[in-house]
Chain A
Amino acid sequence: MNKPHSNKAWFLVLPVFILVAFSAIVPLMTVVNYSLQDIFDVSTRYFVGTEWYREILNNSRLQDSLVRQFIFSGSVLLIEIPLGIGVALMMPKSGKWSVISLLILALPLLVPLNVVGTIWQIFGRADIGLFGWALNSLGIDYNYAANPIDAWLTVLLMDVWHWTSLVALLSFSGLRAIPDAYYQAASIDRASAWAVFRYIQLPKLKSVLLIGVLLRFMDSFMIYTEPFVLTGGGPGNSTTFLSQALTKMAVGQFDIGPAGAFSIIYFLIILLVSWLFYTAMTHSDNK
C-alpha cells in the first residue's frame, strides 16, 4: 500500500513538542494535581477528590464573574471586530498616509498593559482627567469609581482603544492581499460597494478575522491588568472578572487547591469557546 505521506516528518515536530511540554503541559498537569488536593506545600497535602470543583461551580461570586466575563468578551468582539474592519476599509491603501495610519494604529499596541490602566485611570478622573472632566462639564454625571455602569463603559472603552488596532491591522493586511483582478471583475459587473465588501472583501478576510476573533476572545476572556489598575474590580465587584477572582484566590488567600480547580474550569471554557469559533469559521466554507 502506498502511504499518502511519510510519518517520519513528525520527528520534525519533536523539538516543539518538548518545548510545549515544559512550558504548558507539565504546568497544566501540576495544576490538575493541585486541584484534587488541599495543599499548602508538597509535604502538607491531603487528597480531597472533586471537592474543590463542586465548591467552585457552586460559588455564586464566581458564577457572577463568569457571566460578567462572557458579557465583557461578547461586547469586546461585537465592537472591536466590525470597528477594526471599518477602520481598515477607510485607511489609505498605499503611500505616505498609509504608513502614517499604520504607525498611529500600532501605537496603542505598544503601550504596556498596566500603563494602559493608569492612562485611563487618570484620563477618566473628573478632577484632573480630560475625559472625566469633559463629560462632567457637559452635565453628564460620570464617575467610574462609584458608578458600576460608568466603570463598565470605561473598561470597555479602554479595551476598544487598546485592541481595535490589532483587528484593524490584521484586516488591513488581509485587504492588501486581495488581487486587483477581483476588484476589476467587480467593477465590470458594476457591483456596489456593499456587494464588493460582502462577496469579495469579507470572504477574503476570513482567515485573518479568524485569528483576530480568537486572539481578541482569548485575550479579553483572560483580561486582568487593565481593569485591575483602572477600577480594582469595583465599584463593589462590578468589574471583577475571572482572572482577578482567580488571582485573589491563589495569591491573596493562598487557596491553591480551589484555585487549581478554578484554573482548570477557566481553561476548559476558553478551550471550548475557542474551538467553537475555530470550527464555525473554518467549516463555513464547506456548507
Chain B
Amino acid sequence: MSWMAWTTPSALFFIGIACILIGMTYWEIVSPCIARKGFFPIETTRGDRLFISLLSAAFIHLGFIGFTEVTIWLPFTVAIIWLLIVMKWG
C-alpha cells in the first residue's frame, strides 16, 4: 500500500470508478446508446449522463463536507440517488 501512498478508502474509490468505466464500456458494446433528451435542457448520451452524475457527486460531497457536520454516508447516498435519477430520466 505504500506505492503512491495508497489508503484503503482512496483505493476503493478508484476501483469503484474503474468498475463503473469498465461496466459502461461493456454496456455500450452490448447495446450502443442513442442520444436522447430527458429533463436536462440538452440532448445527452449515457456517457454524458454519467459524467454529469459524477461531477455533481463531487460537488454534493464538497457541499456536505464543507458546510455541514453530517456523516460522509449521507452525501454518498444523495449522490447515488442523484446518479440513478440522472441515468434514468436525465
Using a CB–CB cutoff of 8 Å, the interface residues on chain A facing chain B are: 3-4, 7, 26, 29-30, 32-34, 36-37, 39, 42-43, 45, 47, 49-50, 53-54, 57-58, 265, 268, 271-272, 275, 279, 283, 286
Check B59 against A268 for contact (C-beta < 8 Å).
yes
Using a CB–CB cutoff of 8 Å, the interface residues on chain B facing chain A are: 2, 4-7, 9-10, 13-14, 29, 32, 41-43, 51, 55, 58-59, 61-62, 65-67, 72
Check A32 against B32 for contact (C-beta < 8 Å).
no
Check B10 against A57 for contact (C-beta < 8 Å).
no
Offer 26 A-B interface pairs, CB within 8 angstroms, sorted by A: A29-B4, A29-B10, A30-B4, A30-B5, A32-B14, A36-B10, A37-B5, A37-B7, A42-B5, A43-B2, A45-B5, A47-B9, A49-B9, A50-B61, A53-B65, A53-B66, A57-B65, A58-B66, A268-B55, A268-B58, A268-B62, A272-B55, A272-B59, A275-B55, A283-B42, A286-B42
Check A265 against B10 for contact (C-beta < 8 Å).
no
Check A36 against B7 for contact (C-beta < 8 Å).
yes
Check B10 against A32 for contact (C-beta < 8 Å).
yes
Check B66 against A7 for contact (C-beta < 8 Å).
no
Interface of B is mostly: helix
Interface core residue of B5, B10, B42, B61 (most chain A CB under 10 Å): B5
Q: Known contacts being A3-B32, A29-B14, A50-B72, is A34 close to B62, with CB within 8 Å?
A: no
Which residues from chain B contact A7 at a C-beta distance below 8 Å? 29
Check B5 against A283 for contact (C-beta < 8 Å).
no
Quick one: closest A residue to B55, CB to CB?
A272
Q: How far is the CA of A29 from the CA of B66 in the complex (A)?
A: 21
Check A47 against B55 for contact (C-beta < 8 Å).
no
Check A32 against B13 for contact (C-beta < 8 Å).
yes
A49's contact among B32, B67, B72, by CB below 8 Å, is which?
Answer: B72
Interface core residue of B14, B59, B62 (most chain A CB under 10 Å): B62
Q: How far is the CA of A3 from the CA of B43 in the complex (A)?
A: 22
Which residues from chain B contact A268 at a C-beta distance below 8 Å? 55, 58-59, 62
Check B55 against A271 for contact (C-beta < 8 Å).
yes
Check B62 against A57 for contact (C-beta < 8 Å).
yes
Chain A nearest Cβ from B26, distance in angstroms? 11
Interface core residue of A29, A33, A39, A58 (most chain B CB under 10 Å): A33
Which residues from chain A contact B66 at a C-beta distance below 8 Å? 53-54, 57-58
Quick one: closest A residue to B5, CB to CB?
A33
Chain B nearest Cβ from A213, distance in angstroms? 18
Check B29 against A54 for contact (C-beta < 8 Å).
no
Q: How far is the CA of A171 from the CA of B31 in the complex (A)?
A: 41
Quick one: closest A residue to B34, CB to CB?
A4
A265's contact among B4, B6, B62, by CB below 8 Å, is which?
Answer: B62
Check A50 against B65 for contact (C-beta < 8 Å).
yes
Q: How far is the CA of A76 from the CA of B41 in the complex (A)?
A: 28
Q: How far is the CA of A158 from the CA of B89 in the complex (A)?
A: 47
Which residues from chain B contact A265 at a C-beta distance below 8 Å? 62
Q: How far is the CA of A43 from the CA of B54 in the complex (A)?
A: 32
Interface core residue of A3, A29, A39, A45 (most chain B CB under 10 Å): A29
Which residues from chain A contact B42 at a C-beta distance below 8 Å? 279, 283, 286
Which residues from chain A contact B13 at a C-beta distance below 8 Å? 32
Q: How far is the CA of A247 from the CA of B88 in the complex (A)?
A: 42
Quick one: closest B residue to A265, CB to CB?
B62
Quick one: closest B residue to A267, CB to CB?
B58
Check A42 against B2 for contact (C-beta < 8 Å).
yes
Q: How far is the CA of A36 from the CA of B66 in the complex (A)?
A: 14
| 12 more A-B residue pairs beyond the given contacts A7-B29, A268-B55, A279-B42, with a C-beta to C-beta distance below 8 A | A32-B14, A33-B4, A33-B6, A36-B10, A42-B2, A42-B5, A43-B2, A49-B72, A57-B66, A268-B58, A275-B51, A286-B42
